[in-house]
Amino acid sequence: MAFRAESGSDSRSLGCAVECAPTLGTTCGHSAAVYDARGNGGGEIVPTITGDHENRITDYTAVVCGESEKPIRRLSPLECMRLQMFPDGWVDLGDWTDEKGKRHKEADAPKYKALGNSVALPFWYWLLKRIMERCEEKTMGSLFDGIGGFPLCWNAAGGETLWSSEIEPFCIAVTKKHFGDEDAGVEGDWKEYVPGAAKRRTDEV
């Protein structure tokens, strides 16, 4: 059963509706809206719930929101970072170079895709910290690393990430920036982000 604002006589003012949870639909009441900029959701279901998982554009279409009286707008990459509780600027690389030496101009599209396929940090910091309390060796390897959410939580909790594995070029570049590149002799800067990242917020949970 799902709750939706102002729907159903059986809601008893709670807004009870069994069809679809409000976070999966495109409207909630008469003002707020979630809009699909690329047409993947058909105007009824949010785009991140639709499409074939092999179609990355469908999977990671950015959420767009607004009010009926105001122009609908796209969430900014900064807002998406904050929704996932990543530190401000975590995916801001500027112009960057991939593993094959190809140069890329800074763009929002890879940021939306990476953040949409990432994890919300507070819960994982809480869980990993408790797992660490039962580990003799506080080391970790990160498979399907994405933009380094798990290493950030693990390292912030006092552990050490030994290696990470990822196939997406943009995500690899983000991880190398923050956690270093041993082959190139580059040290990461993740410690600069810890005070304003997952640790501060999750300690309040």
Beta bridge partners of 195: none
Q: H or E stretch including 109?
A: helix 109-116
CA nearest neighbour of 156 among 120, 185, 132: 132
User: To which residue do tokens 């767009």 refer?
Assistant: 64
Both tokens of residue 2? 């799902």
Q: Is the pLDDT of residue 120 over 50?
A: yes
- pLDDT at residue 182, rounded to an integer: 85
Residue 13 predicted with pLDDT over 70: no
> Which helix or strand (DSSP H or E) is residue 130 part of?
helix 121-132
| β partners of residue 73 | 65
Give the C-alpha separation, 182 to 168, whole Å: 19
Q: Where exactly are the structural domains of the chain? A: 2-75, 82-202
22-54 pLDDT, tens per residue?
A: 554 545 444 444 444 455 545 555 555 444 444
Q: Whole-model pTM above 0.75? A: no
Of residues 108, 122, 6, 112, the one with CA closest to residue 63: 112
> Residue 68 is inside which H or E element, if any?
none
Does residue 151 contact residue 140 with C-beta atoms inside 8 Å? yes
Band the pLDDT of 114: cuts 50, 70, 90: very high
β-partners of residue 141 are 163
Is the pLDDT reported for residue 121 higher than 90?
A: yes
Tokens of residue 78, six digits: 């900064």
Structure token pair of residue 42: 């058909």
